[in-house]
C-alpha cells in the first residue's frame, strides 16, 4: 500500500533506532532499565524524579561524615559509601534503607521516559533499580507483569515465569520483570553495599533452581538481544553482571547488544566490539523508538 500524504511528511526515523525497532517488534529484545532512565531533561524537571546513584552517594556521604574520614576517596561510589554508613555508629542498615527510600521512592515521580518504555512491547524486562515505578507504569498500561525479586538467601528456590498454560512464554501484555538487585519494599533483598555485591556475585554460581536469575530469563539472555537504557557500561558491576549472564555462550553466537549512551567510553567500546553503542540520551532515543513502533503498528492496522 502506498504511503499516505501524512506519512510523507513524517521525518524518517534514524537507522540506529530502526535497527532496535526491528528487534522489538519481533519480541526478540530484553529491556534492561537502569537508574539513568530517570535522568532529568532539565534541572527544573529533576525536582520530583528519583535521585540518581552518584547524587544519592554524595548525600549519604554528607550525612554520615564519610568525606571527613576518607578525604581522598570519591564520594560517588555508592557501594563503598553505603558500606561505611551501614557500619557507622548512629546510622546502620535501617537508616541506609530509610534514606534510600526517601530519595528514590517517597514523594517521587517516574520519568516520562519510563512511562513511555512501559507501553512498548517488551516481553522480558530487567532492572537493578530499587523503586517500584516501572511496575506501576506497566499496570497503568493495562499490563500484568510477573515480578521476581532477588533473594540473597541461597537456600530459597528462585521463582520462574508461570504462564496460563505450562510452557507459556512471557508476552507483551504479561511480561516477565526481574528485579536483579532487590526491591524497595523488601529491604532484605536490596544489593547496596560492596558486601552485598560480593554476595550477589557468589549467588551467580548457584545451581539451577536456586540461581538468582530464573531459568527462563537466563535462557532469554543467551538467545535474545539486550538493550541497556539508563546505564553506562563504565559501571564495573554492570559489566560483571552482563558477562556473567552471557558466560558460556561463544562470542560468535552471542545475541546483539545495544547500549543507549550519549557519552560511550572509548576503551569500553574497544573491549566490547559486539556491543552497538547508540549515541543518544534517553530523552532523544525513547520518543523516537516509541514513534517508530507506533508508525509500524498504524501501517499494519491499515494494511
Q: What is the pLDDT along the chain (303 residues), one digit of tens a residue?
A: 444 444 444 568 999 999 999 999 998 999 999 999 999 887 666 668 999 999 999 999 999 999 999 999 999 999 999 999 999 999 999 999 999 999 999 999 999 999 999 999 999 999 999 999 999 999 999 999 999 999 999 999 999 998 877 778 999 999 999 999 999 999 999 999 999 999 999 998 899 899 999 999 988 988 999 999 999 999 988 898 888 888 777 777 788 999 999 999 999 999 998 899 999 999 999 999 999 999 998 887 786
Question: Which residue in 199, 182, 179, 196 sits closest to 93, CA to CA?
Answer: 196
Q: State which residues form the domain around 228.
A: 5-43+111-302
Residues 31, 67: one domain? Answer: no
Residues 251, 185: one domain? Answer: yes
Beta-strand ranges (E) seen in 211-274 are 225-229, 257-260
Q: Distance between CA 182 and CA 232 in Å, rounded?
A: 20
Q: What interhelical angle do 53-64 and 92-104 show, nearest 10?
A: 140
Q: Distance between CA 197 and CA 190 in Å, rounded?
A: 10
Residues 246, 294: one domain? Answer: yes
Residues 84, 64: one domain? Answer: yes
In this prediction, residue 244 carries a pLDDT of 86
Question: Which residue in 99, 29, 30 sits closest to 60, CA to CA?
Answer: 99
Task: Report yes or no on 116 lying in a domain.
Answer: yes
Residues 223, 262: one domain? Answer: yes
Task: Report yes or no on 80 lying in a domain.
Answer: yes
Q: Distance between CA 279 and CA 257 in Å, rounded?
A: 14
In this prediction, residue 135 carries a pLDDT of 95
Write the CA distances from 80 to 60, 86, 105, 255, integer angstroms: 11, 10, 22, 33
Residues 200, 297: one domain? Answer: yes
Task: Report yes or no on 48 lying in a domain.
Answer: no
Task: Report yes or no on 57 lying in a domain.
Answer: yes
Task: Work out how many domains the chain is built from and give that number.
Answer: 2
Residues 72, 179: one domain? Answer: no
In this prediction, residue 45 carries a pLDDT of 63
Amino acid at each position: 500500500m502506498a504511503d499516505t500524504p501524512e506519512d510523507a511528511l513524517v521525518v524518517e526515523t534514524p537507522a540506529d533506532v530502526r535497527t532496535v525497532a526491528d528487534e522489538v517488534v519481533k519480541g526478540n529484545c530484553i529491556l534492561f532499565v537502569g537508574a539513568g532512565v530517570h535522568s532529568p531533561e532539565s534541572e527544573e524537571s529533576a525536582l520530583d524524579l528519583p535521585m540518581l546513584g552518584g547524587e544519592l552517594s554524595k548525600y549519604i556521604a554528607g550525612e554520615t561524615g564519610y568525606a571527613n574520614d576518607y578525604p581522598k576517596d570519591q564520594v560517588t561510589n555508592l557501594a563503598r559509601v553505603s558500606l561505611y554508613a551501614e557500619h557507622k555508629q548512629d546510622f546502620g542498615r535501617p537508616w541506609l534503607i530509610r534514606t534510600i527510600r526517601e530519595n528514590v521512592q517517597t514523594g517521587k515521580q517516574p520519568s516520562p521516559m519510563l512511562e513511555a518504555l512501559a507501553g512498548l512491547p517488551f516481553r522480558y524486562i530487567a532492572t537493578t533499580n530499587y523503586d517500584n515505578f516501572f511496575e506501576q507504569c506497566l499496570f497503568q498500561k493495562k499490563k500484568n507483569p510477573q515480578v521476581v525479586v532477588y533473594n540473597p538467601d541461597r537456600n530459597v528456590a528462585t521463582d520462574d515465569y508461570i504462564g496460563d498454560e505450562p510452557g507459556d512464554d512471557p508476552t507483551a501484555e504479561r511480561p516477565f520483570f526481574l528485579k536483579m538487585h532487590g526491591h524497595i519494599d523488601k529491604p532484605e533483598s536490596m544489593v547496596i553495599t560492596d558486601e552485598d555485591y560480593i554476595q550477589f556475585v557468589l549467588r551467580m554460581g548457584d545451581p539451577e533452581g536456586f540461581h538468582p536469575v530464573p531459568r527462563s530469563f537466563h535462557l532469554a539472555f543467551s538467545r535474545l538481544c539486550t538493550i541497556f537504557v539508563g546505564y553506562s557500561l563504565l559501571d564495573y558491576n554492570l559489566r560483571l553482571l552482563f558477562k556473567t549472564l552471557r558466560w558460556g555462550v561463544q562470542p560468535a553466537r552471542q545475541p546483539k547488544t545495544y547500549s543507549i549512551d550519549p557519552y560511550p567510553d572509548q576503551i569500553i567500546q574497544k573491549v566490547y566490539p559486539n556491543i552497538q553503542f547508540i549515541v543518544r540520551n534517553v530523552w532523544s532515543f525513547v520518543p523516537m523508538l516509541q514513534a517508530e513502533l507506533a508508525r509500524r503498528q498504524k501501517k499494519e492496522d491499515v494494511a
